[in-house]
Amino acid sequence: MDAREEKGKERARASHVNQSETKILFLSLQILIIAAVVSFVVGQAHETFIAITIQEACIVLFFILIYMVTLQHLLVFLDWTLFDLINSFISAVFLLIVAVLTWQEKERRPLFYIGGVFCLTAAILCLIDASLVTKKMRNNMKVILGIKVKTPSQHRDPWVPAYPTPRRERRPALGLSCKAS
């Protein structure tokens, strides 16, 4: 077997864990961006807003197609998680700018404002995607370096104290004894 094929299979095993989360996130992001485009077109927004949201929809569609065809396993010389991370940050910035600019039109054009709300929600999803990709990259780096990675079942409950509290003896209150006379 070729070294590239081995590396591709290794990446496929490592990326199988977060694959369903990524698909759901990208599909919901695509739905929000399409809803923003429709509300901008119906609300007769400026062409810049429509162009930015259509561009984001095309980029998200591109990543969905890559992940559906599993092209990221064949092109092992490209770091797709890094591309996804950079895309998430750039998309979040553009969508946040569009959302902030559309809030100025709240009173005059409600559909324009609704498109901005869709853009804001999509930007939040982009930031969630960036945090998931960052977590995935950290875990992959820990595996490469040989550091033990905690699975979700190994995480402790934050409400349970890390160390057991010592039990104290009950002492009688000021001069009262517990002995029967």
pLDDT digits (tens, 9 = 90+) for 29-78: 889 999 999 998 998 888 888 898 898 888 888 887 887 787 777 877 77
Residue 155 placed within a domain? no
Residue 160 placed within a domain? no
Number of compact structural domains in the chain: 1
What is the predicted pLDDT for the residue at 68?
78
Query: Nearest CA to 120 among 140, 93, 151, 84?
Result: 93
* pLDDT tens digits along 98-123: 999 888 777 778 888 889 899 999 99
* Helix or strand (DSSP H, E) at 106: none
Q: Among 21-30, 42-51, 77-86, 159-168, which is the least confidently predicted range?
A: 159-168
Residue 162 placed within a domain? no
pTM above 0.75, yes or no: no
Range of the domain at 123: 3-150
Give CA–CA dist 130/117, Å, rounded: 20
Residue 12 placed within a domain? yes
